[in-house]
């Protein structure tokens, strides 16, 4: 067997063992099951309230209000797509769901990033009125996001 073939075989073996180790460790957790992902384009952006995102989320949870939290950056393409989708959906749920915009690179958001276990962006976290969270990674299709938020306000 040639040396190149042995190296490739060894790399494949290491990758397989790594995946098995993560599965045995319980990753990803059940509450991290992704929402269906689809790339969507078109316009809008999230507007902040001036209150730190961690404080917005804590206030919503304390008031037992449902919340949608978007963890993203201002530079990644999927994040920009997700930001546009949320901007289109948000007006239909304003006042019934608290929308929290978390730019992961900002210093003030680092504790919240760690608290929520953010590993990839965009990440969306949906909290029901009891504070139970579901998390998804990637771009969520607009119709899927609307359906998830409608279920949230119908509870």
Residue 15 belongs to what H/E stretch? helix 3-24
Strands 98-103 and 67-72: parallel
Q: Which residues contact 58 (CB under 8 A, 6 or more apart)?
A: none
CATH superfamily entry for domain 33-154:
Glutaredoxin (3.40.30.10)
Q: Mean of the per-residue pLDDT values for the chain?
A: 80
- Each domain of the chain, given as residue ranges in start order, spans 1-27, 33-154
pLDDT tens across 35-91, in order? 332 222 222 334 455 789 999 999 999 999 999 999 999 999 999 999 999 999 999
Residue 135 belongs to what H/E stretch? strand 133-137
């Amino acid at each position: 067997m040639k040396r190149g073939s042995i190296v490739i075989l060894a790399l494949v073996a290491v990758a397989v063992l790594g995946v098995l180790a993560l599965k045995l460790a319980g990753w990803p957790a059940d509450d991290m099951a992704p929402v269906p992902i689809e790339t969507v384009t078109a316009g809008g952006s999230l507007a902040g309230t001036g209150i730190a995102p961690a404080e917005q989320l804590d206030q919503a949870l304390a008031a037992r209000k449902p919340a949608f939290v978007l963890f993203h950056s201002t530079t990644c393409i999927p994040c920009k797509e997700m930001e546009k989708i949320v901007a289109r959906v948000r007006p239909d749920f304003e006042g019934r769901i608290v929308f929290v915009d978390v730019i992961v690179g900002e210093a003030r958001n680092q504790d919240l990033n760690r608290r929520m276990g953010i590993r990839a962006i965009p990440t969306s976290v949906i909290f029901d009125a009891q504070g139970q969270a579901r998390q998804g990674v990637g771009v969520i299709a607009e119709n899927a996001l609307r359906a998830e938020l409608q279920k949230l306000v119908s509870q």
